[in-house]
Amino acid sequence: MHLLIGTINFLPFVYFIITAGLILGFAKIKQLIKPAVILLLILKILELVIKTIGQYLAFKSSGIGIFLLPPYQKINEFFLHYIDYRFILPIIFPILVGLIFFFLAQIINRLSGEKFFEKEEPWMLFYAIMFLGHPMWLIYIFLILVAAIFLYFLQVIFKKIQFGERLPLYYLWLTLAILVFFLQKIQIPISWLNDFLNSIKF
C-alpha cells in the first residue's frame, strides 16, 4: 500500500522530467514528441490503475469499507461510481480533450494547406493537455490564445510580420505548458479564479 502511494506521489515529477526533457532537447522535437505522447499516455493509464488498486485495498483493509466491496455489494453498486468521479474522469477526460484538439488541429491544417501548424505541433498540443490534466488545461488554452494574440499584434506593430500572416507558435506549446504546471503548484492569488477552478474539478 505504501509503495502504491509512493508511486502515485512520484508520477507528477516524472511527468515534469519528461516535459523538461522535451524542452531541453527541442532541437529533436520532431523525433521525440510522438514517443513522448505515447509514454505519457501509458503512464496516465498506469496512474489510473494504481489509484484504483490502491483505493480497492484501502476499502478492503477498512472495517467499514470492506462492506462496500464484493461479496457484500456488486462492484458497480458503489466502488466503480466512487472511482469514476475521483480517478477515472480526472485522468481520462483530459486525454479525450487532447484528442479532440489534436484532430481539430489536424483537420484545420489540412483544410488550410498546412499553413497553420507544423506536423508536430498538434502532437505538442495533445501532450500539453494530457500533461496538465483537468482543470489546468483550460488555463493553458486560455493563455495560449492570449499569448498568440499579444505576440501577433506585437509582431505586426514592429513590422516583423504583415497583418494576415501566420504567427508561428512552435516554441510556445511546451514552454507555456511547463509554466502552467508550476502555476498549479502555487496558490493563485486570484480568488475568483481559484473558485472557478475548484468548482469545475471532478
Domains contained in the chain, number = 1
Report d(CA 62, CA 57) in Å as an integer: 9
Report d(CA 141, CA 100) in Å as an integer: 13
Give residue-wise pLDDT tens across range 67-116.
878 888 888 778 888 888 889 999 999 999 999 999 999 999 898 887 88
The boundaries of the domain holding residue 96 are 2-200
The answer to whether 125 and 102 are in contact (CB under 8 A) is: yes
Cell numbers placing 12: 507528477
Give residue-wise pLDDT tens across range 19-45.
999 999 999 999 999 999 999 999 999
Among residues 42, 45, 21, which one has the least CA distance to residue 31?
21
More confident residue, 57 or 198: 57
Give residue-wise pLDDT tens across range 133-170.
999 999 999 999 999 889 888 887 776 767 666 777 88
DSSP 202: -
Report d(CA 35, CA 37) in Å as an integer: 5
Residue 198: pLDDT over 70: yes
Report d(CA 127, CA 37) in Å as an integer: 5
Q: Number of C-alpha atoms within 13 angstroms, CB side, residue 77?
A: 8
